[in-house]
Amino acid sequence: MRLFMIVPKGFGGSIHFNLWANSKIEFHISIEYIQSFADKNGVRQKPTAVVTFNASEENKTEMTVTEYANFGQIKHFAKLGLEQSLNKVMSIITTNK
């Protein structure tokens, strides 16, 4: 899946591209994907995070993000962007059932 994020003009207005690639799926147990930055053509850069979803209890899911880069202060904005992206993915998944 290829996603992009547009940074608000007040923060520079740049466009960032992300790739998500499923690396492990255990039906009804866990989903793991690798998140990488990419250029506008989809050329992958080094993986910066591995994200794992695991069933934690009935109707609940635990998400673990393992980051391989030091983003400093931008980490807060990266977290907000990831949360927004996940909300969009969930909206697409629940709409297309």
pLDDT at residue 24 is higher than 70: yes
State the Cα angle at 90 between 89 and 95, rounded to 5°: 100
CB 46 within 8 A of CB 36: yes
Residue 29 has a CB neighbour count (10 Å cut-off) of: 10
For the stretch 35-93, pLDDT in tens is: 777 777 888 777 677 778 888 887 788 888 887 766 666 677 777 887 888 888 788 87
Cα(36)–Cα(17) distance, rounded to whole angstroms?
Answer: 9
Two tokens, residue 93: 């998944």
Could you tell me the residue ranges of all domains in the chain?
2-69
- Give the pLDDT of residue 3: 61
Give pTM, 2 decimals.
0.45
